[in-house]
Amino acid sequence: MESHGGSYGFGCSVEAKKWMNLIGVLWIQALSGTNFDFSGYSSALKQVLQISQVQLNNLAVASDLGKVLGWISGYAIRRMPLWAVLLIATSMGLVGYGVQWLVITQKISLNYSEVYLLCFLAGNSICWLNTVGFILCIRNFPTRKAMALAISTSYNGLTAAVFTLIVKAMTLADGTLYLLLNAVLPLVIGSVAFTFIRQIRPTEDFVAERRVFVILNIIAIVLGFYLLPVDFFSLSSTFSYKMYAVGMVVLLLAPLCIPATIYARNRKSDGNGYYSRISDDNDNNRNDVLGKLFHISEEDTNVEENAGGFLTEGLEENRGNSGESSIPWNCSEPVPELGEEHNLFQLLRSVDFWLYFFVYFCGATLGLAYSNNLGQIAQSRGHSNSTVFVALYSSSAFFGRLMSAGPDYFPRESGLGRPAWMGLALIPMPVAFFYLATGDSASLYVSTAFIGMCSGFIISTAVSTTAELFGTNSFGINHNILVANIPLGSLLFGYMAALIYDSNAQGNAVEEKLSRMVMCMGVKCYRLTFLIWGCICLVGLILNCFLLLRTRRLYRTRYTREEGKRDSS
């Protein structure tokens, strides 16, 4: 089912197909962040269903509730081929979003509870798509997994901006098209991608991989900046937007130059290039290569093949010859190792996990709750077009996710672990919320950019952090348990915002008496909400300090060992 090095005959094909896999993941991620464009069509959905702000918020919660069952995708990917998991994911999205589009365009009529179930199904599809992408990045790039995960999750943050450009190219204003795009585009690109994405045996050229990731990051940065002006400068016609969309497609296809170059280079050298070292005809050579992976991996990654044909890898620390057997710890639980594998029961008993869980809850989850309410927030401030802010948040989240690979380009000797970087990303968030509460005219633009960037950084960093702290063998399950806090946060944060919004609208002259829809206008609609959310961010920052104190010795020990290995080699 899965393909390995010798299946393609030449090492060059193996390497080219490995990068094709990553490009396929980038395309899927660029079109699967469908939860980020809820604000683009939420107002229209609210009007068609004639529901209150609390009920609208519950639909956003329903989408997030789909993540509660995301752990099922972790089990599925262990027992099913990747193409089957991808097909299930895109099919759920097609039904979940497609039927909602029929409702919002008034082609069919469904009651509130039925739309709620559709939102749940659509939200669950996102977890399945993300799991496929994360697992491919971890398995195909065991020594550069953080770089692969950063760039793949960054493309996920571009979905709303990509869809906004497509909507403008088609109609200039119809927000209902977001739902149609959510339903169709992931299915189309998924159908193309599952013809070639697969497990590829990792190769040994670490320097070349690093250079390729630099090129991919440059392309991604150009794409991110390319999409920014569309939302702030109106073009003259849909034709102009169509031409701009063509440029976007070119940039999305640009990474294809990498596998094409690798293939052409190795064909020119008649298969005598660097990557031809790995072959199924030489098992001893392959074992030697994998042995090098064990020895010089930046994350001490162990690679093994399980019964299902997938490669799994652990991040278990090599204890070395020094006899080190423990690290000073401040609790009575067993002394952990960085990357020690945690099954479900070990995970739920871990103090580190619950600290990590609530740090994510007070940071990334709160940022997502803000994005879910962004349409109504913009409307309450007098902005009729919320797509500008939706795309601003999405683009900022993209750059935040891309920057999460930054720690891997810094000197490893510093011992600064990922929890420390998550803490740095949390610092601007309470400031942004407090600034929003002031009602300054620029606050909505500035704060949306900072909240999107910080929450995007945390979301992307958390993927690598989960693998580092709790192992990779059960990553698909463990990380989906972590993101299960998103529905809880969406419910609590969103419901609180909706209650404050509706209470401020009760005496508002804008309230519509002929329907159940209630509107609130002015800074007061969300001022108290922003103050509370800012305080919650501060709580998350404090919890992150505890997590940092508990894990910093683990990271420093690992970096010290790696430095010793480099010195002795």
pLDDT along the chain (569 residues), means of 10: 39 74 91 81 86 81 83 85 89 94 91 93 91 87 85 85 84 78 91 76 65 91 86 71 90 92 74 44 41 38 36 37 38 55 83 94 92 85 78 83 80 68 94 93 92 93 88 84 87 87 68 56 90 96 93 74 57
Give the per-residue pLDDT at 278.
40
Q: How many Å from the N-terminal Cα to the C-terminal Cα in the chain?
A: 38
Task: Report the C-alpha gap between 74 and 70 in whole angstroms.
Answer: 7
One-letter identity of residue 503: S
Q: Are 421 and 326 in contact (CB under 8 A)?
A: no
> What is the helix (H) or strand (E) element at residue 137, kind and residue range?
helix 112-140
Number of residues in the chain = 569
Coil/strand/helix, residue 196: coil
Instruction: Write down the pTM of the prediction.
Output: 0.76
Q: Name the superfamily (CATH) of residues 8-262+337-568.
A: MFS general substrate transporter like domains (1.20.1250.20)
302 strand-pairing partners: 314
For the record, the structure tokens of 109 come out as 């009529």
Give the per-residue pLDDT at 233.
66
Task: Report the C-alpha gap between 27 and 186 in whole angstroms.
Answer: 9
Q: Crossing angle of helices 485-505/351-360, nearest 10°?
A: 40
Give the per-residue pLDDT at 429.
96
Residue found under tokens 């490669």: 311
Coil/strand/helix, residue 396: helix
Task: Report the C-alpha gap between 494 and 56 in whole angstroms.
Answer: 10
Q: What share of the chain is helix, strand, coil (3-state, %, to 5)?
A: 75, 0, 25
Give the per-residue pLDDT at 171.
74
Task: Report the C-alpha gap between 512 and 532 in whole angstroms.
Answer: 28
Task: Report the C-alpha gap between 557 and 563 in whole angstroms.
Answer: 10
Residue found under tokens 């697969």: 198
Burial pattern 75-100, b for ≥16 Cβ within 10 A else e, equals ebbbebbbbebbbbbbebbbebbbbb
Q: What is the CA radius of gyration of the chain?
A: 24
Q: Crossing angle of helices 351-360/418-426, nearest 10°?
A: 30
Q: Crossing angle of helices 38-49/53-65, nearest 10°?
A: 130
Q: Which residues contact 327 (CB under 8 A, 6 or more apart)?
A: 335, 553, 554, 557
Give the per-residue pLDDT at 13.
66
